[in-house]
């Protein structure tokens, strides 16, 4: 087969063990199809506890990590790949672990001068028993993505969310509680340290939850975002700064909120392995800059080959011209 990746064997890691498994299956499928179009020999690997044995048998040239959530995105799988000596896409062990832990990443970002919401970690039973701060506020797991387990407690709410006290709650005994920032939901993709653009997300339901993110018609994406120029530029700058502060590699995505009434812009979190589904934000931003999905997948894959010896940071492939500084 011809193509820029002809002769290369790429293992696409998908599925996995987290609550974001279904999203990962779609991301992995889309990326695997693109890699085949690019000429690569692709092995689709539904990542389980036997991942090290499977990869040792397959001996791929590079791993495309399309996993989302705990274990696949928090440094654990990255550690397995480092041990096996296999190049892999996206961020290394430390950046992945830091970004997944909301409390620790907020501390790092704040120290780097990136404004973040206040709040902190609380015992989930205490949060369910009474308001730990005045509404409106947000309750979320400390180490989950895709808005899994997120609750907004609105003004006038009589009681906190009771689901977090349920025996079926599987997201840890401590939860992040932070003030709710009204206004615009924003996202910025960062590629090789350079911000792409700002997307404004308008959820149909009024809340950008799991369904709004991944269901057809669940949200409307406005590219570029309809915000003042100075706020737009600041969102780009803060996202680039966050990418560097956490030590991210390849592609990341920052999620921000902009309160236009009080002119407050805060960065909520950094996703080190952004979704690569048909409704995902980073591929959409790349397309707005003239970079096709296949070109994006190619760059991410080639970038993985240049993993350095210190910290697993990739710096090889040139950023497509549309994103070059």
Domain ranges, residue 34: 9-90
Has residue 133 been placed in a domain?
Answer: yes
How much is the pLDDT for 314?
36
| pLDDT at residue 251 is higher than 90 | yes
Mean pLDDT of 59-74: 95
User: Do residues 225 and 302 both lie within one domain?
Assistant: yes
Give the Cα separation of 170 and 3 in Å (integer): 44
Residue 98 main-chain phi, psi, to 5 deg: -65, -50
- C-beta neighbour count of 78 within 10 angstroms: 26
Average pLDDT over residues 70-96: 96
Residues 189 and 294 in one domain: yes
Q: Determine, yes or no, domain membership for 52.
A: yes
Domain co-membership, 219 together with 280? yes
CATH number at residue 152: 3.30.1490
CA 142/CA 148 separation, integer angstroms: 11
| One domain for residues 82 and 174 | no
Q: In the predicted model, what is the mean pLDDT of the chain?
A: 89
Residue 13, in any domain of the structure: yes
Length of the chain: 325
The average pLDDT across 292-314 equals: 74
Which one, of 87, 73, 1, 69, lies nearest residue 39 by Cα? Answer: 1
Closest CA to 210 of 264, 277, 257: 277
Please check whether residue 24 is in contact with residue 75, taking contact to mean a CB–CB distance below 8 angstroms. Answer: no
Task: Quote the CA–CA distance of 219 and 202 in Å, as a whole number.
Answer: 5
Q: Is the pLDDT of residue 308 over 80?
A: no
Same domain, 70 and 171: no
Contact of 181 with 166, CB cutoff 8 Å: no
Higher pLDDT, 170 or 213: 170
> Do the domain assignments include residue 24?
yes
Q: Choose the weakest-confidence range: 93-97, 210-214, 218-222.
A: 210-214
- Which of 139, 159, 179 marks a domain boundary? 179
Whichever domain contains 188, its CATH number is 3.30.470.20
Nearest to 234 by CA among 211, 257, 251, 215: 257
Q: Tokens 């040792």 identify what position?
A: 56
List pLDDT tens digits, range 14-31: 999 998 999 999 999 999
Domains: count for the chain? 3
Residue 245 lies in a domain: yes
Give me the CATH number covering residue 14: 3.40.50.20
pLDDT band (50, 70, 90) for residue 183? very high
How confident is the model at residue 204, as a pLDDT? 78
Q: Of 129, 148, 179, which one is at a domain's C-terminal end?
A: 179
Shared domain for 62 and 133, answered yes or no, is: no
Question: Which of 152, 179, 206 is the last residue in one of the domains?
Answer: 179
Q: Please indicate, yes or no, whether residues 174 and 258 belong to a single structural domain of this protein.
A: no
Confidence category of residue 214, pLDDT binned at 50, 70, 90: very low
Answer yes or no: is 190 within a domain.
Answer: yes
Q: Which residues pair with 202 in a beta bridge?
A: 220
313 with 193, same domain?
Answer: yes
**Is the pLDDT at 58 greater than 70, yes or no?**
yes
Examine the domain organization and report whether 109 and 258 are in the same domain.
yes
Say if residue 268 is in the same domain as residue 285.
Answer: yes
Q: Does one domain contain both 42 and 129?
A: no
Pairing of strands 184-191, 251-259: antiparallel
Same domain, 104 and 244: yes
Identify whether 95 is part of a domain.
no
Q: What is the pTM of this model?
A: 0.88
Query: How do residues 132-178 score in pLDDT, each as one tens digit?
Result: 999 999 999 988 755 677 899 999 888 888 989 999 898 889 999 99
| Inside any domain, residue 1 | no
Active site residues: 20, 146, 214, 253, 255, 269, 271, 275
């Amino acid at each position: 087969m011809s193509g820029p990746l002809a002769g290369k064997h790429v293992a696409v890691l998908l599925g996995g063990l987290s609550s974001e498994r279904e999203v990962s299956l779609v991301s992995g499928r889309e990326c695997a199809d693109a890699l085949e179009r690019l000429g690569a020999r692709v092995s689709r690997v539904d990542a389980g506890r036997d991942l090290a044995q499977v990869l040792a048998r397959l001996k791929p040239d590079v791993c495309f990590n399309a996993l989302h959530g705990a274990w696949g995105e928090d440094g654990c799988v990255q550690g397995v790949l480092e041990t096996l000596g296999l190049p892999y896409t996206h961020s290394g062990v430390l950046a992945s672990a830091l970004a997944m832990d909301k409390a620790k990443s907020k501390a790092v970002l704040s120290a780097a001068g990136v404004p973040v919401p206040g709040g902190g970690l609380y015992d989930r039973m205490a949060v369910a028993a009474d308001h730990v701060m005045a509404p409106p506020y947000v309750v979320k797991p400390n180490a989950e993505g895709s808005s899994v387990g997120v609750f907004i407690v609105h003004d006038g709410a009589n009681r906190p969310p009771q689901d977090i006290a349920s025996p079926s709650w599987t997201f840890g005994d401590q939860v992040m509680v932070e003030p709710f920032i009204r206004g615009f939901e924003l996202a910025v993709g960062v590629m090789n340290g350079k911000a792409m653009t700002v997307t404004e997300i308008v959820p149909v339901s009024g809340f950008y939850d799991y369904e709004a993110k991944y269901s057809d018609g669940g949200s409307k994406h406005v590219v570029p975002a309809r915000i003042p120029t100075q706020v737009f530029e600041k969102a780009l700058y803060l996202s680039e700064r966050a990418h560097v502060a956490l030590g991210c590699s390849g592609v990341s995505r920052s999620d921000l909120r902009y309160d236009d009434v009080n002119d407050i812009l805060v960065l909520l979190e950094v996703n080190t392995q952004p979704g690569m589904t048909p409704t995902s934000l980073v591929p959409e931003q790349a397309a707005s800059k003239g970079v096709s999905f296949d070109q994006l997948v190619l760059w991410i894959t080639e970038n993985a080959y240049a993993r350095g010896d210190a910290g697993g940071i990739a710096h090889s492939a040139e950023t497509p011209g549309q994103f070059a500084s």
